[in-house]
Chain A
Amino acid sequence: MRQLQSLLVFLAAILTFARASSDYHEQLVLRPLQPSLLLASFNFQSNTTWASFEQQNFRYFPRSLGQILQHANTRELHLRFSLGQWDAENWGARPWKGAREGGTGVELWAWVEAETDEEADGRWLTLTNALSGLFCASLNFIDSTRTTRPVLSFQPSGYHTNSTASKLHLLHGTLPREVVCTENLTPFLKLLPCKGKAGISSLLDGHKLFDASWQSMSLDVTPICRSGSEDCQLQITQTTDMVLDIQRSKRPRDNPIPRPIPSEELKCDTSKPYNSFDTCYPLDISAQEEEWSLSQIFGHTMKGSCPLAENESYPVCINVPHARDIYTSGAREHKDESGYMRCFELTPQEDFEMILPPQDLSERAPLEQPLLYAERSFIGYGQERGGVQAILTNPSPTDAVDFVYMESLPWFMKLYLHTLKAKINGNSEDVIQEMYYRPALDRKRGTQLEVRILIPANSTVVLTYDFEKAILRYTEYPPDANRGFDIAPAVITIGNVSIRTTSLLLPLPTPDFSMPYNVIILTSTIMALAFGSIFNLLVRRFVAADEAEKWDVRALRLIIKGAISRFARRFMKKTTKKD
């Protein structure tokens, strides 16, 4: 990881100092992880001068994005699409130290230039809606309830002149529910100069990317200026990081089902006394280096280098000990002196393939320890209240860690600030240095909580707080109401390193949605009954029993008799007249 970082610094140095005009760089760094995983970090970076950006003279910088930024007066933009969970215990520190990573779903933050807060909100709305269209993501759902204005957590990474800096507004929004998928990758690739046709971007395939155990796509636009000069550039950096399961990726696409392997191919522990043709204690093969090749992992070989990345000398690097055997075609190998990194100079117009055979290797590239382990979960149960517990561990035996923990919670999760407690190694001690709290307004904005905490070396801080679950209106529930509501990951900022916890699923009291139907039926019945009886009482005439008209068979008989006699009399009259 350290090698990777040093390489990046070198790269950045080239970018900022060597050439002032437009240029484009791309690089892929591969790093095998335990057990049988592969981290692939793709980095694409291009610069444009501020002057040509202002004149809408785009070369490497994508026009579609540039126009959106100009329209929304956005000076700095960070967009993240992430999926999965980074396993810091086994995989070490995050790629790019977490700087190019977002929480699960979509995360967006930007510095928007505006005179007033209202104007900034309007421009933010423009920005989210435009980006929503560009990236086929539901970014337009980042409304006021999901937008926060972080105070302690985010710092601009680019250079802003004093005059613009005073007018900049930082806005931050997350969509933890958004499922990142192929429709987000395609527009992402389209922003690249080589558009996924050549160079390392040709390896990016939706099937493989979204089968990864963890993946993150990022897009950053930052202004870069040489100190004290007006010679400014706008830098766009796109990265894609993914942790691929080697065994899973090696499965052919037409037969992806992990059927049991034939028993002859099973690797058994033959030292067991019971080992036989039908009994097998599987051998622990994690000690052995997995066999893989670039085309197995990504589905096809790399289609040469991108011709636009003219001065990129090493487009592909791999972080393995020098003792690891690697066979390549269409490239020249360069080992660096640290012993764990080697890079490949590609032959243009030729497919690049890399094969790593199985190998017993005692040595491994060292893992960089993360600065902080963070884990967040719900505590308690029931429909009314709950609690959140964040366990933050400083693994360093010597250094204390000072960080900002930021939560942006939806309004229906009503935080009780007085229950916010930080326990260090089980004791209540004052570790909270500073706090910024902006309470929620129902249906208008969410809770924003930023806490600066200092963890001494080798300690664990447990941060807990309680909350109450609000009852939503009938129409405010999503169609899958019983799934629960996603709570955005907490953002932990340690200097320029950022860590995100996992998102949470909050179950809210959910009505039975067939209830309105039942209520309608019940009320209709009651209305009918009440109306019926009252109407009856109002209209009906009450009389004594003897006053009532008799309607019995005798009366009917009398009527019939009368009718017959009348008829008979008339008939009689006729006959008498005749007579």
Chain B
Amino acid sequence: MASLLSSGVLLRRNPHILKLPPYLSFLCVLIGVAWLLVLPLDNYSRNTYISENALLPGQVHTYFAGSDQNVFRGYKREIDALEDKPNIEVNDKLEEILKASGLKVARQSYEYKSAGQTYTGENIYAILHAPRGDATEAIVLVAAWKNMEGKLNRSGIPLILTLARYFKRWSLWSKDIIFLVTADSTAGPQAWVDAYHDTHQSPAIDSLPLKSGALQGAIVIDYPFDHRFHSLHIAYDGINGQLPNLDLLNTVVSIASGQMGIGVSLQQMWQHSDSYQDRLQTMLRGMMNQGLGHASGPHSSFIPYHVDAITLQPFGDGWQDEMAMGRVIESTFRSLNNLLEHLHQSFFFYLLMQANRFVSIGTYLPSAMLVAVNFTIMAIFLWVKSGYPQSTNSKTPSTVEAEEKTSQLNSSQKGNAKVITAEESSAVRERELLLPLAVVAGSQFLGVLPLYIFNHTPQNMLTPVFVSFAVANNALPYILSRTLTHLFNPTTQQYQLIKSFSLLLLGLFLSSLATLNFSLAFLVGLLATPLTYIYPTSSTSALSYVLKAVLALVLSVIAPTAVLVAASWSWGLSIEKVLTQAAYGWDVWGMNTQVVVWCVWWPAWIVGGVLLFGRPREETTKLNERGQESKAVI
């Protein structure tokens, strides 16, 4: 063991080894990205399978057809007549219909305030008590009056009403079934599910007058047109990148494609040829949605409460009618009804590349971890390097060798093993920690400022505030760096330590985030990668100025603000819309992507900028000067 230790010491002091980490960290990033790119291949992804045996998807006959279609058409006429009516009037009619089906009906009104806007509405829901049950468990069938695009859920609402009437006739339900019609797709479900778990903010959000047992699952119907459809699109992303149990998704996929012959698509991939490109695209779209952490449908609000939920959206023009959709839901509910335990068997962390192909966390996690490790490697390297005795002058490789040969040798004894090292390398330079710690901590705390500003600015002020912030943001690193140089005149070592701490924090945050929201950690990691390779130089040559200018350009391109602008431009949305949505997410859904952006990524970027414009003081000359001074005093 002693020999191992001593060889470790030797290894640490090896000048060749010390040159390695920057390449190693770059290699980590490369492998991380490459890892992600090979995931869609057959050898790295798996076919989905049902893990929970109780589900038995598609094992039952479905009977939702025949005269129920007449009832559906009748209800549909009623809903069409209500299209532009106010929420309360709509709910009056829905209550009448649900009560006529023999269900208990209750309502809940809510009011959210975000970015100076007020979002109000009223949810209506009906509970079908399990005939022999004791209200201990429940499954939820949701249809939002308006879907995510603001379109009337034209066929979805009549379908939920017809299904309520149909389900009432069966006596086999072991769980209560809750039929919920929310006023919109984002605030309504959130208000309802918060109130169900009694975590809502009264009096803005009403408590629920009627309750059932523990929610075991939720299915959302989003069917905003009245023609026949071709396939089913499943939205499954929850808030903050949380996902429903894969078994739920598999159940619906297996019922729709296996039992009903309806194709299933994910992540708005309307065409999927099962090629590498399509799989990769599906996966990347999924990662983008997961990384943003926003709600992708009314189901998203359920997932933080450990209620597995998905949204079913028929699309395209085909020959599947609304009764086929109803049968998919009937069969899914029969499967969920079979559940003896809460869904727990299958995966909660996965990336889907097709409706029946996935990668589990064990396979994809190394990718984000490698990107995060790149920062940690550099941080450790910089820490070691900052403690490494500074060479007095620049040496050519030949002189280094000569020097090493002539340098005095130190021998130390550990046990009975002798270690012979160069005296020079065994000494550790004292690190000046106060300034680096203060700079890194300061920049981390500074992150609270934009977080607060963007979550509390009224909607009409968001664009001007953002523009001024973006401008200030680009100037900020330069100003900070100048101030730092002016006030403290940091040494190279201090710059190294600033960078080391900043990267260490970044690596730490990203690797722990990778286990919670893989995609966000990966995206932020990739965008922050250039920060690993930014060094301050004191050189004043023209080349270095050009290099600095180029790096400054790169830096401003990867700034969080610039990325935000680029992203909203590519989605075809205005900045105001994106920021309003983000503030809405913060206030209503409890989305915390902002925290990661402003308190993890942005501080690291600021520190990167400070480093770029930094001018390290020539330490050795200073020391000499001091020495001379002291001599002079003597």
- Mark A residues whose CB is within 8 Å of B: 35-36, 83-85, 87, 89, 104, 210-213, 245, 247-248, 257-263, 265-266, 268-269, 272, 274-275, 278-282, 284, 286, 375, 377-381, 387, 389, 480-484, 486, 502-505, 507, 510, 537
Contacts and interface: CB of A to CB of B under 8 A. Distances in A.
A245 B135 contact: no
B41 interface: no
Contacts of B70: 263, 266, 268, 278-280
B213 interface: yes
Nearest to A213: B131
Given A257-B63, A480-B341, A503-B136, A274 B74 contact: yes
B401 interface: no
Contacts of A486: 136
B68 interface: yes
A245 B134 contact: no
A247 B199 CA distance: 40
B131 A84 contact: yes
Contact of B67 (A262, A482, A503): A262
B214 A378 contact: yes
Contacts of B341: 480-483
Contacts of A482: 341-342, 344
B63 A259 contact: yes
The 8 closest A-B pairs by CB, nearest first: A379-B198, A260-B66, A258-B169, A482-B341, A281-B74, A280-B70, A263-B67, A279-B73
B279 interface: no
Interface of B: 1, 63-71, 73-75, 77-78, 100, 102, 104, 129, 131-137, 165-166, 169-171, 197-199, 211, 213-214, 305-306, 340-342, 344
A212 B136 contact: no
B65 A260 contact: yes
A492 B211 CA distance: 20
Contact of A268 (B65, B74, B166): B74
Nearest to A375: B211
B67 A266 contact: yes
Contact of B73 (A83, A257, A280): A280
B198 A210 contact: no
A505 B133 CA distance: 12
Contacts of A261: 66-67
A504 B213 CA distance: 7
B199 A282 contact: no
A297 B71 CA distance: 27
Given A378-B214, A379-B197, A480-B341, A272 B74 contact: yes
Nearest to B78: A281
B170 A510 contact: no
B100 A284 contact: yes
A246 to B, nearest CB: 12
A84 B173 CA distance: 12
Given A259-B66, A377-B211, 13 more contacts: A84-B134, A245-B171, A247-B169, A279-B70, A280-B73, A281-B71, A378-B214, A380-B199, A381-B306, A480-B341, A482-B341, A483-B341, A537-B1
Contacts of B66: 259-263
A141 B496 CA distance: 68
A245 B67 contact: no
B77 A281 contact: yes
Contacts of B165: 282
A505 B214 contact: yes
Contact of A282 (B71, B131, B133, B342): B71
A381 B305 contact: yes
A260 B63 contact: yes
Contact of B132 (A84, A269, A286, A507): A84
Contact of B171 (A211, A263, A484, A505): A211
B71 A266 contact: yes
Nearest to A482: B341
| Among A245, A278, A280, A481: residue with most chain B CB under 10 A | A280
Contact of A279 (B74, B102, B133, B306): B74
B316 to A, nearest CB: 24
Nearest to B101: A282
B210 to A, nearest CB: 9
A481 B78 CA distance: 46
Contacts of A212: 131-132
A375 B483 CA distance: 65
A83 B342 contact: no
Contacts of A505: 136-137, 213-214
B71 A280 contact: yes
| Among A84, A262, A265: residue with most chain B CB under 10 A | A84
Contacts of A510: 344
Contacts of B65: 260
Contacts of B102: 35-36, 286
Contacts of B214: 378, 484, 505, 507
| Among B1, B73, B102, B199: residue with most chain A CB under 10 A | B102
A503 B165 CA distance: 27
A210 B170 CA distance: 14
A470 to B, nearest CB: 18
B67 A260 contact: yes
A280 B171 CA distance: 24
Nearest to A282: B71
A247 to B, nearest CB: 7
Nearest to A506: B214
A379 B214 CA distance: 10
Contacts of A265: 67
B171 to A, nearest CB: 5
A481 B340 CA distance: 10
Nearest to A273: B77
6 contacts: A213-B131, A213-B132, A260-B166, A268-B70, A281-B78, A377-B211
Contacts of A257: 63
A279 B132 contact: no
B63 to A, nearest CB: 5
A421 to B, nearest CB: 14
Contact of A258 (B63, B305, B344): B63
A266 B170 CA distance: 18
Contacts of B134: 83-85, 104, 502-503
B135 A387 contact: no
A425 to B, nearest CB: 14
A375 B209 CA distance: 10
A482 B74 CA distance: 42
Nearest to A283: B100
B133 A483 contact: no
B131 A245 contact: yes
A211 B77 contact: no
B69 A84 contact: no
Nearest to A513: B344
Contacts of B170: 258
A260 B63 CA distance: 7
A497 to B, nearest CB: 21
Contacts of B73: 274, 278-280
Contacts of B77: 272, 274, 279, 281
A258 B67 CA distance: 12
